[in-house]
Structures are given as C-alpha cells and as structure tokens.
A and B are shown apart, each in its own frame.
Chain A
Amino acid sequence: MSEKNLELNLLTSARRAPQPRSAFLSRKTLLEILRQLILYIILIAGALPFLFPLIFMLSTSLKSKGEVLLVPIRWIPSQIIWGNYYEAMFGYLPLYWFMLNTLKVVLGSLVGDVLVCALVGYAFARLRAPGRDILFIIVLSTMMLPGQVVLVPTYILFRYLHLLNSLWSLILPNLLAGGAFFIFLFRQFFQTINPELGDAAKIDGCGLFGVFWRIYLPLSTPVLATVAIFSFFWNWNNFLWPLILIDAQDKFVLAVGLKLFQGAHTTEFPLLMAASVIALLPCLLLFFSAQKYFIQGVVVSGVKG
C-alpha cells in the first residue's frame, strides 16, 4: 500500500480531528493504526458468535444423518446432500404447501397493513374532525395491550363467525387496520408532508380521497416500503395466533407446519435445519434487498417512539 493511499484511508477514517499531514508515519498515525487494529480484532471476534449459529444451521442442513452425530463437529460436510432440501420441501409433510398458505396470509395482510392503515393514518394526520385526537390516543394505547389478554375471546369470536380453520381469521384483523403501529408510522410520515400540496390539489378539483391517493400516497414510498417489510416479517413469523385459530393440517401456515415437521423428524437434524433455512430464506432475502427501509423502520420506531 502506497503512502498516499494509507494517508487517504486514515483521513476518511478519522471522524473528528483531521490528521496532520506530517512526515512518514508520525507517532500519532502509528497510534491510530494500532487503535484500528485492536478495534478490528474486537469486531471480528465479536462477530463470530453472531455468525456461527447461522453457519452451523447451513452446514447441518447439507450433511447426512450420520455425519451430524460426529464429534468434533465437521463444519464442512464431507458430502453435500442437497436432497435434504428437496425432502423438506416436497417429502412427507411438504413445506411448500404450508408456504403457500403463509403467502396467502402475508399477501392478504399486506393489503390491510399498507393500504388501509395508510388511509387511517392519513385521516389522523390531515383531516380535521371532532373526536380525532381522542381516537388517536386509543390507537396508541392499543399498542400497549398484550395480545394474550384477548386470546380467548378472539378465539371464541372466530368460532362464532365460523372462521376457525380459515386463513381469513389471520387476515381479517389486518384488513381492519389492526396494525396500530403502522397507523402511527403513516401518521408521523404524512405530517411531514407540506399540507399546501393537498390544498393546491383541492383547488385544482381533486376530491378528498384524491388528495390521499394522488398526492400523499405517491410521496410516501419510504414509509410504504418500511410498513410492507414489517408486515411481511410479522405475518411470516406469526405463530401463536395460527396455532390457536387453525387446526386443520391442510390450512397450516409455515410456522405451525414447522412445529408439525419437528414432531415428525425429531432427531433428523439435517432435515430440521433444511426446513429452518427454507423458512428463513425469504426473510433474509427481503432484508438484504431492502436493508435501508428495514433499518429506517426500526430507527423511527425507536428514536421517535
């Protein structure tokens, strides 16, 4: 590495104090290099416990049933068995079927979480009406309520509605704007949009709904993306509700299907890990392709909440 390169690197790394343009490796630069070296060692050592479980999962999922029982652990399988994935996906208890059910729930809920919550959030942000603020306080307070309190009555309600064992029982609450957190996110975002834009559109003959649909919604891609991602994750991973509301095996979502899968393959660790990888893969892909929006959502909920 040339001297100039090194200096450039250090310049970009130094956050506050600019580096003196001194001669070749002054004492200060040496200290800075040492500091960075130590930091890198800590960072790499710290990253191992976060990475190892994932590597362990992946490596187990590609091993034979015998090889997982070897001590010490073989991190790289002697023979890579892709068939584990095929068997998990299409074998006895086919995960693809549960996955399709999950997709139906996820997509149906997405409509509610994105469009309905956006409309409700817009109303709270920009429409004036008597009782609005009280209603919004109620929205916020529902975020605090632990779901377990309404577990039993909700079960009874769906039984009464003949919606037990129907995927609609998982979608309907979301279609009725059940995601209070999303309403909150949308309201916060819409409040940052200049209201004059809406007023101008009204003068140009835009209706009340048109202002929301043509002005506010198109300006809200960041928050729409954030809500869509969160909605996907929550509904994909949701376990307690489908466990209670759905009994028929052909209606199982992936989370409950995995529990069944676990029961059928108790000690077949490669199959169990292949199933876990399959279940986690969509979330990981989504995370990597939309990391920015994902982190934005986490941060907004934390810093402004």
Chain B
Amino acid sequence: MNRANGQTSLGWWRRPASREAAFFYLCVSPWIVGFILFTAGPMLASILISLTSWDFISSPTYVGLSNYQAMLNDELFFKSLKVTTTYTLLSVPLGLAGGLLIALLMNQNLKGITIFRTIYYLPSVIAGVAVALLWQWIFNPNYGMINGILGLVGIDGPKWIYTEDWVIPAFVIMSLWGVGASMIIYLAALQSVPTELYEAAALDGAGAARRFQSITLPMISPVIFFNLIIGIINSFQIFTSVYIMTQGGPNNGSLFFVLYIYRHAFQYFNIGYASALAWVLFIVIMLFTLFIFRFSKAWVYYEGAAR
C-alpha cells in the first residue's frame, strides 16, 4: 500500500498490480489530505464544538447537549426555520414547474429558438454579490424597476424587501429569474425521449395532453427528481443575496438559516451554538432529502430499472 514497503521487498514491488495500487494512492493522496484537513477533521471538530460554550477567546467549556436544548427556547431559531421553509416551499415547486414549462416551449422546433434558449438561460449563469446588488435596486420601492413598471399600469407596488410581508415573495421572484438552470436540464431530458414512443402513442389515438402525461412525465421523472433535490438543498443554503440585500431584516423577516448561523458564529461569537445550528441544518436537509427519496419510488420511473 505504501511505497516504503514496496522498495524493501523487491519482488512485491515488481508486481504490476502492486505498482498500480501504489500509484493509485499516490494520485489520490492530495484528495486524502484535503479530505482529512477540510472535511473529516472539521466535521469531527464541529460536533465537539457544538457540545461546548465558546467565544473564540476563552477556552471552551463542555456543556453537553445544552446548545441543542437552547434552540427549543430560541424564538429566532424557529423564525429562521419558518423563513427558510416558507421560501423553499414557494421557490422550489414554482421553479420546478416554471423550468419544465419553459423547457417544453424551448423543445419546439422553431427558427431562432437557440436565441431564446440563451436569453432564458442567461440569468442563471450569473450569480453572487453583483446579482444581489442588482435585485436590491430592482426592488427599490421608489425608483426600482418592478414598481416602476407596476406604476405604468396604475398599480402602487409594495415595499418588497423593506417590508416583512413581501420580503420572502421578493426572494422567490429573484430565485425564479434563475430558473434557466433547471430548464436546460429538463430540455436535455426532453430531447432524449425516443420519438418512437410519441409516434406509437399518436397512432393509438393519444392526444397531446395524454402523451405528455403518459410519456413525457414518466420519461423525465428522474430529472424532475434531481431538480427537486438540488432545489431544496440550494434553497436551504441561500446566504449571499440575503446578506447583501436585507441582512435578515426587516424584523428578521428574511432571517434565513445560514444567515442565523453566520450571526452566531461571526457576530455574536457563540461558536458552540453556531456549530449546533449548522448540524441542525444538516439534519433538516438530510430529512427532507430522505423523505423525498422515500416517496420517489412511487413517481420516479427508471428505464430498465437497474441503473
């Protein structure tokens, strides 16, 4: 397994299989070091830190599970769970349906369709702070784009990210702007559905709606499933846009979970509590994912079953 052994017994070293194995471990050694340093080690440390009370400066004191117990009495913890879940339950289904709808449009064979594909896809390519700055400006109640356009048709738009009632819908709208990413994945799936299936169904007299329901949906269900999982994982981890646009406000109405972790870790220096919160996030995401996996067998169709 390691080189030193091989060099002491020449016979062992000369065998090609052993040399190949040694070379394998040489190749993956950067990953192994990185895994220990940046994943396994920190994970273990994170569990231990979550059992302490610590502020980075004084030495940590062991407090058992009290960080986890403290969450039960933490109103903001529940608020951030509610905010994040509400956002997820709104943005993920809307994104799934919207992405599929656009992909169906993009699957039409029209002249110049590739230009439209690029336009719809473009916003999902860009991300990060610059996009958050843009949307903060778009949601500006007085001079922003949305209320400017609403004003043209006589609607007095809401204050969007500056009022608790509208801040979550505002983030949902912003997330829908990036629906192109899932659209592209749907499109690839739609184009890989064999045309014979549609031809056969058409011969049997199935209409467009029936063909969609009985052929398209089952054939692309694995991709819907994939987009669902990715969508949930991403929306639970939203941070950059919230940090830039609202800092969790107004009245903690956009206190997304990762922002809450960040506050405890790097603003209040409650390192133990922040670590415990991070593990709760991990568990919540895992539970959601497991739940979906559990119920996926009923509606996800894999061609040829074993994959």
Contacts and interface: CB of A to CB of B under 8 A. Distances in A.
Given A71-B148, A73-B145, A122-B27, A130 B21 contact: yes
Contacts of A154: 38, 42
A286 to B, nearest CB: 9
A12 B127 CA distance: 36
A49 B177 contact: yes
Interface in B109-165: 109-111, 113, 116, 118-123, 125-131, 133-135, 137-138, 140, 142-143, 145, 148-149, 151-152
Contact of A148 (B20, B105, B192, B237): B237
B130 A135 contact: no
A47 B285 contact: no
Contact of B118 (A16, A43, A291): A291
B20 A273 contact: no
Contacts, number: 267
B96 interface: no
B122 A287 contact: yes
Given A36-B110, A39-B108, A128-B21, A151 B278 contact: yes
B51 interface: no
Given A46-B120, A122-B27, A276-B134, A176 B34 contact: yes
A279 B46 contact: no
A303 interface: yes
B82 interface: no
Contacts of B244: 259, 262
B185 A298 contact: yes
A173 interface: yes
Contact of B122 (A54, A183, A302): A54
Interface string A42-70: 11001101111110110010000000110
Looking at chain A, what size class is its interface with the partner chain? 35 or more
Given A46-B120, A47-B119, A119 B109 contact: no
Interface string A5-20: 0000100111110000
B304 interface: no
Contact of B116 (A47, A49, A73): A47
B17 interface: yes
Contacts of B38: 150, 154, 157, 173, 176, 178
A157 B41 contact: yes
A275 B31 contact: no
Ranked 5 nearest A-B pairs via Cβ: A176-B34, A302-B185, A237-B128, A153-B42, A150-B42
8 contacts: A47-B116, A53-B177, A123-B28, A147-B237, A148-B278, A244-B266, A284-B125, A302-B185
Given A116-B31, A124-B28, 15 more contacts: A9-B111, A53-B134, A53-B135, A69-B143, A73-B143, A120-B30, A144-B233, A148-B237, A151-B261, A151-B278, A175-B30, A176-B33, A272-B133, A303-B223, A305-B226
